[in-house]
Structure formats: structure tokens, C-alpha cells
Structure 1
């Protein structure tokens, strides 16, 4: 069931519109509390909880256990889209794409499939124009700017990507993968994407997790060079 069909089933009601907005919010901000969603959408927390309960019953949203508990008392529940919920955003042509890739393998072999995947990765990642970053002398500032531009390009192509500081590096996160089911069958799409991201940033990267492997978020670590001193 797609988001649009979900709205049709609810008669395009205001409740259907609100639940669609909540799902879009969770797509871009997974592991969110009801209060955070309410603040983002300018709704009441109680109202958001009611919609979340309905989405959970429909199998589109699930609760997750907080990894870090701060302070005393029961931590607030966190919510994220299920695989079914994420499938509402861009999986309509999976079967056709799979058949086309099988045909490509038959005609061009593994080399042809890799060339196709590499060309696609360059289109969605390499089209960015980051600041000049070289493997010899990147700075934290130029690398961060380049990573943010890569994330923006990925988001423009449906990946809901963000960049955040983590330890001594950056983490590039894809909160959605439009080709997750295809990538499960053909890992070359993830491999070439990582290859192009590394080339675009001008530094090595460390893939940590992918949605195609069953994780909730695709996570890539980008080590930062030592801070420059003056």
C-alpha cells in the first residue's frame, strides 16, 4: 500500500493527511519521540500519539528501545518507520528494475552491471561540486562542507541524508534507500555508491551499516583530519 493509496482509503481525510506528514517526518527523522514529531508539525503531543497508535496498528510504524537512557524514570518511546512503512516511499518499480538488471547481466555480465551501478552513483553523488578536497591536505572545514553537499545531492535523489559529528569524524546517514530491495540482491549498488562518495570527498570512508542489510539507517563514517592550528 502506498502513501497515496493510504490517503485514498481514508477518504483523503485530514487524519490521513496528518498521518502522511508524520510518516514523512519519521522518514527524515527516525527514532523520534511523539513530542519531537509534534513540535516539528505544530501539533499536540497527545494527537500525535493517537496517530502513531493507528500507524503502528497498520504496521507502518514501530517503537524502538532507546540506546542511551539519561536521568531517572521511564525514557520516552521512540518511533520509526517499519520496512512496510519505508516501502511506501519509492518501491513501486522494484520488480521491473529487478527484471531489467537480470537482462543486463545476461547481455553484459558483471562488468556491465558494475558500469551501470557506477554511472548511477556518479549521477546521484558525483553531480555535486564540493570544495577542493585532496587526500594530502583536507581540512575539517572543507571535508564537512563537501559531506554536506553530498548529503544534499543524495537527499535530492530520495535518500533523506544527513551529516553529523560522531567521535573524531563525521557520519553520513541515509534514512531512506529508494533501491533497498534491489541493493539487497545486487550489493554492487552500495559498493559503487561508497566508491563515488569517497572519490567525491577525496578521502577514505568506512561503511558501517546499510538498510539493504537490515539496518534502520545506512551509516558511513568519514574520518576527520586533525584540526589545524595557527
Structure 2
């Protein structure tokens, strides 16, 4: 795999932080010409860093008009590997040893403590926010600083009882580890619920093969802390 140019890395970063997009959308985001963005996309696709299809990896397909549907570009698994996932093999080996010596309970304890450290660092950033939208945005900003390329969108999923705010994580520094140890994802979601004071429902995770990690935040705030809800796949 060739090292991307500076412009190529801008394209990768945009796909990570802002999600899948068509070539014209990327050109608008990055203020590039149509010819320039297509040249970079062709190179990144040939190198296996970017992939394309007629619909995004996650979410509804775009409304089709006349003519050929536009290609939607998204970051590939190889592209994610460029963003600091080189320690995965060591982490997996350590967690396997922990599971063999202490069972699944030991792995869960580790995942909970890791998530609690995240909670400790994020809590001051959310405490000063007075309403749910600003707390959700503050959480997404904190996750982005930690390499999760997170953003907030309004969900269009017709799931009864769920709110409209959705946290999207376009990158996961521990995706390969969490694929074998889902306790990491579950502990993070529980902490999201406590930080926001609302039920959080996981809809998708990169670790389970989805294009992005998504979590919908309930519009109803909790009166006390309670475990996160999860939709089984």
C-alpha cells in the first residue's frame, strides 16, 4: 500500500469524520475540483484504502433519480488501519491471556475499568452543558479528540421510542480487538448512557462489520443511572 499524499489524507480524513459521500460531495467538502477529487479517489481505491458502491455502508440508500446512480465512497478496512491500529495484535493476545486465566468476567472487569477512565476524563466536559443536544455534541467532540472521528446526526431510522440524536463514530481505534471482545463496546455504551443521563441504544458497530458505530440517544432523560439498552443483531 502506497503512502497517501497530503491531499489523499484529507480525503481519507473527510470520509472518516464526515462519513461516506459521492465525489461531488467530497469536492464541495474539501474545495477541490471535480477532476482533482476523482483523481485522488481513483488512486485511493486502487490502493484499497477507499471503496465505493451504490449505497453507503450504513444508513438508507439515496433517492435514485434518472440515469446511473452515483458512486458512494467510504473508508475501507485497510484505510482504517492507517489510523493507529498497529497495537491490535498485542492487545488481543493480552486479553486472550486474561480470559484464559480469569474467564470472561475478568475481561468484562477490564472493559469496565477502561470505560470508567473514559468517563472520568469526559465528565467535566459534559457537566457544564445544560441540555441534551449540547451534551451529546460535547461527547462526540471528546470522542473525536480520542481518534473516533465522531459526529452527531439526526437519525432517520423508524425505531419506536428512540430519540432523534445519533452519535456516529466513523473510526474505532480498538475495532479489531472489540471484534473478539465485544465487552469493550458494551462498556463504552454504558458509559455513554451515564454521561448523558439518557438511554443509549447501539444500532451498529465497526467491530461487528458495520460501516460505522452508531448509537441513538433517547429523548427522555433518566432520573437515575441504569444499564444501557442494546438491540441484538
TM (norm. structure 1) is 0.82
Structure 2 residue 149 is the aligned partner of structure 1 residue 152 = no
Q: CA deviation at 1:71?
A: 4.5
Q: Distance in 1 between matches of 2:127 and 2:132?
A: 8
Instruction: Name which of 69, 85, 98 aligns with 2:92.
Output: 98
Q: Which residue is 1:36 aligned to? A: 25
Partner residue in 2 for 1:25: 14
> Do residues 77 (structure 1) and 71 (structure 2) align?
yes
Q: CA RMSD in A?
A: 2.2
> Quick check: 1:174–1:218 contact (8 Å CA) kept in 2?
yes
SS in 2 for 1:204: strand
Matches of 1:163 and 1:32, distance apart in 2? 16
Q: Is the CA contact 1:69–1:75 (under 8 Å) kept in the aligned structure 2?
A: no
User: 1:72: Cα distance to partner?
Assistant: 3.8
2:43 aligned with 1:47? no
TM-score calculated relative to the size of structure 2 = 0.81
Q: Which runs of 5+ in 1 are unaligned?
A: 8-15, 134-140
- In 2, distance between residues paired with 1:174 and 1:131? 22
TM-aligned CA deviation for residue 175 of structure 1: 0.5
Q: Which range moves more in the overlay, 59-68 or 209-218? A: 59-68
Partners in 1 of 2:30 and 2:135 — Cα distance? 30
**Number of equivalenced pairs:** 208
Residues 125 and 38 of structure 1: CA distance in aligned 2, closer, same or farther (over 3 Å):
farther
- Give SS of 1:120's match: helix
Unaligned runs of 5+ in 2: 56-60, 157-162, 222-233
Q: Secondary structure of the residue that 1:173 maps to in structure 2?
A: strand
Q: CA deviation at 1:40?
A: 2.6
Matched residue of 1:176: which SS?
coil
Please give the per-residue CA displacement for 1:90-113, whole angstroms capped at 9, x wherever unaligned: 211111111111222234332322
Is the radius of gyration larger for structure 1 or structure 2? 1
Structure-2 separation of matches of 1:200 and 1:74? 45
